[in-house]
Amino acid sequence: MAAPITSSPWGKTQTTMPCSLEDVMSEQLATQLQENDTEPEVSSAKIEPQAAAAAVQDDDMAAILAAAGVEEGDMSSDEMIARMLQLQFDREHNAMLEREQKKYNGTSKVTISFENYKTSHPKTKWEESTPKIGVRGYAGSGKNITTKHDQVICGRRNAERLMEFPPEFESGDGEGMDMQLPNKVYNKLKMHSMAETRRGARHTEKKLHSTAEKAVDENTRIMLYKMLNSGLLESIGGAIAGGKESVVFHAHGGSFEDKEVPREVAIKVFKTTLMDFKVREKYVHGDHRFSKDDYKKQNPRKIIKMWAMKEVANLNRMRKFDVPCPKVVVLKKHVLVMSLIGRDNPAPKLKDANLSVADMQDAYEQTVEIMKALHRQCMLVHADMSEYNLLWHDGKVWVIDVSQAVDLTHPQAFHFLYRDCCNVSTYFKKQGVHGVLRSEQLFNEVTGLDIQGEGQEFDNQVQRYDKERKEANMLLGREYTHYAFDYFFDLSQQQRAGHSASGDDSDEDSDEKEQKSQ
Identify whether the C-beta of residue 162 lies closer than 8 Å to the C-beta of residue 174: yes
86's CB contacts (< 8 A; 6+ apart) are none
Partners of 235 in the β-ladder: 252
Chain centroid to CA 318: how far? 38
Neighbours of 343 (CB within 10 A): 11
> What dihedral do alpha carbons 377, 379, 384, 386 form, nearest 10°?
20
Identify whether the C-beta of residue 100 lies closer than 8 Å to the C-beta of residue 92: no
- Hey, CA dihedral for 96, 98, 99, 100, is it positive or negative? positive
Chain centroid to CA 147: how far? 48
Helix 27-54 to helix 78-105 angle (10° resolution) is: 50
Identify whether the C-beta of residue 439 lies closer than 8 Å to the C-beta of residue 418: yes
DSSP-derived secondary structure letter, 266 = E
Q: Would you call 443 helix, strand, or coil by DSSP?
A: helix
Partners of 407 in the β-ladder: 380
- Please report, in angstroms and rounded to a whole number, the separation of the first and last CA atoms in the chain: 197
Residues carrying an active site annotation: 384
Amino acid at 427: Y
CA distances from 215 to 269, 270, 335 (A): 6, 7, 10
Chain centroid to CA 471: how far? 45
> What dihedral do alpha carbons 302, 304, 309, 312 form, nearest 10°?
-170
